[in-house]
Every structure is written in structure tokens, then in C-alpha cells.
């Protein structure tokens, strides 16, 4: 099994929910990302989603758009992101790392070369927002052959057919976008999430993570009650984007400790 699959299996055996923070590589400082990754793990993160900066992140709201812009101004490239993962792996051989981004950087890098270099760096999964499942079966197969997971988004507008298409090739977990719109949007309807997750599970055999709009312990717990994982990105970036270098890791870790503690109050509950 992959590191992601092992992590979810271990958490399921413990009756715990996965905490998956997202940060943009190279933001808010080019040299903080590896320390930030380690700090988030120490605070209770189970999987890390690391954003690959892109100039036109259409699924992302203003907070993550600004993070990508700041990283690009620092000339953070796909190669730099892979080097950050490689540096993280020097002292952490167990925490899964998922690269999240868009097709353009992957295509510019070269899909085969990207998979090879991601494997060598220690990446565990890849989520390409604008790779529809029916058009990237070959890419997903390359990832699986390299013991990496192909992760896909599902949305409130996803049909049963789209869920089935994703379920056929997804590994690791699927990421359910809990509301219409972009990252960081508000008005999270946890009742709607509770109705949607069983529909997803009817079509998908891998764990279901839920993100977009989760900003505090209360919403994290509400979502975790009906899912396998909670994904938080915009709120973390919002908290650290104006902090001095030395405060970035403590601020992010402090927030995640609160979320981890809240999620652990659900230990033993079944979704």
C-alpha cells in the first residue's frame, strides 16, 4: 500500500479522522515551506497537501491566489517544489505528501518526467484540479505504477456518473469540495455535506476528505462526523500570510493543534 493508504488504514483502526492541511509551496517565504511542513506534522497533520504555484488557479479564491502570486514572484517553480519535498523527506519518511495544482505546470514539465521526479522526491499523491478523470487515465496509471496515488475532486454538482468515473481510477482518497465556488468561500452547509458523502461512498471505495470553507474547530468537527478527513487550506494561509518569518510555523501549528484536538473528540465514532 502507499503511504496515503497506510495512513488512512492506521487512522481507521484507531477510530480517528485525518487532518490534511494545505499550504502553497514557497509562501509566505521561499525558505519556510519545509519547516512549515514539519511544524504541521508535529501539530497533528496526517497528510500534507502542498500547492504548486500557478498563475491562473481558477478553483482557488483570493487567499490562495495571493499565495500563488507571492510564490511566483519568488520564482518558485515545479522543480523547487519537488526539492522542498525531497528536503522534507530527509527527516520524515512517513507523512504522506500530496502535490495539488493544475495541468499547465505538469504539461510544461512533461507528465512522464514529472511522475519520475515526483517519485524520486518522495511525493505520495498528485491532485491535478483540471485533469478530468476520463482524460487522464494514462497519467493515473503512471502514478499507480510509481506507487503514487491519483486523487480527484468531487463537487456538489457532481453526477453519479462522474462519481463512478472518479471511483474507477482514484486511489488514496477523493477530495469533496463542500460548496459551490472557490476555496475560502463561506456559508458551509454541513447538512448538505452529510447528505452528499453517502452518495459519494456508493460510487467510490477510497476514503472521502472534505474541504473548502472549513475555518474553525466547529466546522471541522461537523464535517469529520460524516467523512474520513478534513482538508483546510485558505484559513491557514490567511493566518500566516502577514506574519514575520519566525512566526509562520508557530501560528500555523497553533491553529492545527486546536483542530486536531477537536477532531480527536470524535475518536471511536463512525461516519
Tell me, yes or no, if 160 is annotated catalytic: no
Identify any residues that bridge with 181 across adjacent strands, giving them in sequence order. none
Tell me the C-alpha to C-alpha distance, in Å, between residue 182 and each of 63, 188, 203: 10, 12, 24
Return the pLDDT at 183.
45
**Quick one: average pLDDT of 19-38?**
98
Catalytic site residue from 27, 31, 56, 60: 60
Summarize pLDDT for 229-244 with one digit per residue, the tens: 999 999 999 999 999 9
Residues 49 and 98 sit within 8 Å (Cβ to Cβ): yes
The Cα angle at residue 21 between residues 134 and 133, in degrees rounded to 5: 0
Mean pLDDT for the chain overall: 93
CA–CA gap between residue 209 and residue 94 (Å, rounded) = 20
Tell me, yes or no, if 135 is annotated catalytic: no
pLDDT at 182 over 70: no
CA–CA gap between residue 100 and residue 25 (Å, rounded) = 10
Summarize pLDDT for 118-157 with one digit per residue, the tens: 999 999 999 999 998 988 999 999 999 999 999 999 999 9
Return the pLDDT at 185.
46
Q: Rounded to a whole number, what is the distance in angstroms from the first to the last CA of the chain?
A: 23
Catalytic site residue from 27, 46, 49, 149: 49
107-138 in b/e form (b: 16+ CB < 10 A) is: eebebeebbebbbebbbbbbbbbbbebeebee
The closest of 54, 76, 74 to 65, measured between CA atoms, is 54
Q: Is the torsion defined by CA of 93, 6, 162, 180 positive or negative?
A: negative
Return the pLDDT at 186.
53
Please state the separation of Cα 186 from the chain's center in Å: 19
Amino acid at each position: 500500500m502507499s503511504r496515503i493508504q497506510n495512513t488512512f488504514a492506521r487512522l481507521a483502526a484507531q477510530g480517528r479522522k485525518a487532518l490534511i492541511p494545505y499550504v502553497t509551496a514557497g509562501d509566505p517565504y521561499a525558505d519556510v515551506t519545509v519547516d512549515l511542513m514539519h511544524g504541521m506534522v508535529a501539530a497533528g497533520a496526517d497528510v500534507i497537501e502542498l500547492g504548486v504555484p500557478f498563475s491562473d488557479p481558477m478553483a482557488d479564491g483570493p487567499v490562495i491566489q495571493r499565495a500563488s502570486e507571492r510564490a511566483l514572484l519568488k520564482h518558485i517553480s515545479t522543480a523547487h517544489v519537488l526539492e522542498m519535498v525531497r528536503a522534507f523527506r530527509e527527516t520524515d519518511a512517513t507523512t504522506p505528501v500530496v502535490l495539488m495544482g493544475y495541468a499547465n505546470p505538469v504539461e510544461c514539465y512533461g507528465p512522464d518526467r514529472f511522475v519520475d521526479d515526483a517519485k524520486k522526491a518522495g511525493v505520495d499523491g498528485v491532485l491535478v484540479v483540471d485533469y478530468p478523470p476520463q482524460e487522464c487515465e494514462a497519467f493515473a496509471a503512471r502514478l499507480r505504477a510509481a506507487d503514487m496515488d491519483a486523487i480527484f475532486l468531487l463537487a456538489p454538482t457532481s453526477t453519479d456518473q462522474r462519481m463512478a468515473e472518479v471511483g474507477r481510477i482514484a486511489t488514496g482518497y477523493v477530495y469533496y469540495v463542500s460548496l459551490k465556488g472557490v476555496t475560502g468561500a463561506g456559508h458551509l452547509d454541513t447538512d448538505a455535506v452529510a447528505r452528499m458523502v453517502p452518495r459519494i461512498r456508493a460510487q467510490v471505495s477510497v476514503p472521502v476528505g472534505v474541504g473548502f470553507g472549513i475555518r474553525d474547530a466547529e466546522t471541522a468537527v461537523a464535517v469529520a462526523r460524516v467523512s474520513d478527513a478534513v482538508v483546510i487550506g485558505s484559513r491557514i494561509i490567511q493566518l500566516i500570510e502577514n506574519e514575520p518569518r519566525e512566526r509562520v510555523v508557530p501560528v500555523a501549528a497553533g491553529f492545527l493543534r486546536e483542530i486536531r484536538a477537536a477532531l480527536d473528540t470524535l475518536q471511536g465514532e463512525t461516519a
